Structure 1
């Protein structure tokens, strides 16, 4: 189904499929209802997780949105304690790499270690911890799992970042609001070879800024089901 989103949303931009791909590719390229912007696949360097190079992450645990989006991977984070049932369901369902949230300001210590171990055993491509998560707990997780640890950060302070790297973090996820691109640029200047991904913001300009600043992958927040239904229902009301 074609969903025409509000004009200022980058989700409304459909990817162009070349004539060659349409005619000759055995595995046909399919335009999903929520297509990620082409500038990500064209301009991002990509993050290596396992055997895959990932450039776009959908920030969602909604199965309908995951099914109808063509991002490379899923960032499964939610404002509740991590759930084994949710972790296993998303990994089995998505058909693409999942990075699972296992802790932050509320969930920490032994519980986070247990969830990280479970996520790895269930097939997660990586785990992610939020800004308040303590380095001592990152070290405990690092001792128990082999998959990458991602840490969300909103600062470019050298000692803060170095502490996380020393604790075992493999990737920084920058979520700094309007300052995201600036923080990415400062981190990549201080740690030139360290992988960084960034929240994409609300516009193509925000995404482009983060990529140009050194982000190797972009995290995209999809429109809500409420907003999608509002667009569809407005169309139906006008038609009928």
Structure 2
């Protein structure tokens, strides 16, 4: 067996590491990238200091091009950026999708409430993959028929049930899913059929709190 080497320096040795169990996922080839682990954040400090394969940047405000531009500038790994689908609908979503593609993001993410007409319009407008978030087993066929390339399952306690439903009926559809807060839950999510896992990291506030506790000892 070839030995694995790790090269670090004192100032750059700290980073947020995604759970190693995620490496058990099969992964998804998205354009020229192979993705297993996705970190869910819009924090530029976290974006710059983690070992995930990709960033998913979705936030609870109306998407704006300036925010996508800022995230794309900071990210040194593939970026999946939210372009609406909840409060933001219609032509604005299409324009945001085009702008995101021009910024060089890997894919765009549409929230679960997106209407199928807007989804189809985005599909006709851009060439990069479209990720559609799903929170239940409803409308799966409609999402796929109208342009979803990847399904992002974020159904809370029903996540594993929804993954199994999709995997049983659509064996060739790539699935991203939120893995939960423990290795056991992540493993169960992978076993259910998720190809890549979204990991939510601790906040910088929590990390700073832990660091200050260390400084005070």
Identify the residue that residue 104 of structure 2 maps to in structure 1.
123
Q: 1:152 aligns to what SS in structure 2? A: strand
Q: Does 1:39 align with 2:21?
A: yes
Aligned to 1:136: 117
1:178 aligned partner? 157
Aligned length: 214
Aligned partners of 1:21 and 1:29 also within 8 Å: no
Please give the residue correspondences for 1:1-240 in structure 2 after superposition, counting only pairs within 5 Å: 20-22=3-5, 28=7, 32-41=14-23, 43-157=24-138, 160-237=139-216, 239=217
Q: Secondary structure at the match of 2:3?
A: helix
CA distance in 2, matches of 1:32, 1:184: 34
Question: Which has the larger displacement, 110-119 or 176-185?
Answer: 176-185
In 2, Cα distance between equivalents of 1:195 and 1:38 = 21
Q: Residue 104 of structure 1: CA displacement?
A: 2.1
- Answer yes or no: is the 8 Å Cα contact 2:47–2:74 preserved in 1: no
4+ residue runs over 3 A deviation: 28-32
Instruction: Give the Å deviation of 1:32.
Output: 4.6
Contact 1:103–1:112 (CA<8 Å) still a contact in 2? yes
In structure 1, C-alpha distance between the alignment counterparts of 2:48 and 2:4, rounded to whole Å? 22
RMSD (CA atoms): 1.7
**Structure 2 segments unaligned to the other structure (5+ residues):** none
* TM superposition score normalised by structure 1: 0.85
Larger radius of gyration: 1
Cα distance in 2 for residues equivalent to 1:82 and 1:172:
20
1:155 Cα deviation from its structure 2 partner = 1.1
Distance, in Å, in 2 between the alignment partners of 1:222 and 1:38 is 14
Checking the alignment, whether the CA contact within 8 Å between 1:32 and 1:70 is kept in structure 2 is: no
In 1, Cα distance between equivalents of 2:118 and 2:67: 22
Q: Which runs of 5+ in 1 are unaligned?
A: 1-17
The CA deviation at 1:230 is 1.7
CA drift of 1:37 comes to 1.5
Distance 1:32 1:182 in 2: 36
Q: Is the Cα contact below 8 Å between 1:155 and 1:176 reproduced in 2?
A: yes
